[in-house]
Amino acid sequence: MLNLIISTIVFFVAAWFTNRYLDEQEIPKGMTRGVLVLVLASLVSWGAGEMVDWAQVKIEGPQAAAQTSGGLSQLLKAVGQPQP
């Protein structure tokens, strides 16, 4: 969950800085510039999310995978539904 929050914040900050930089370079606004901002902000956001995941694994250790044994019949038993 922390990954989603951090990467969303980083996306908007990266988009703002990229737009500001392109304004300073006097690159005209248009669809190409908009796509460039979207791609660059997405890449920076993805990188920040990966760094958060990496740091979380280093701090907490690897998370165990969920165990899904049994299938639908065990799920129906747990819920209390009659089985077909």
Asked whether residue 66 is assigned to any structural domain, the reply reads no
Phi and psi angles of residue 81, each rounded to the nearest 5 degrees, phi first: -90, 145
If pLDDT is split at 50, 70 and 90, which confidence band does 1 have?
confident
pLDDT digit string (tens) for 3-62?
A: 899 999 999 999 999 999 999 999 999 999 999 999 999 999 999 999 999 998 888 877
What is the value of pTM for the model shown? 0.70
In the chain, the number of structural domains is: 1
Tokens of 40: 């660059």
Type of residue at 14: A
Asked whether residue 38 is assigned to any structural domain, the reply reads yes
Asked whether residue 47 is assigned to any structural domain, the reply reads yes
Asked whether residue 24 is assigned to any structural domain, the reply reads yes
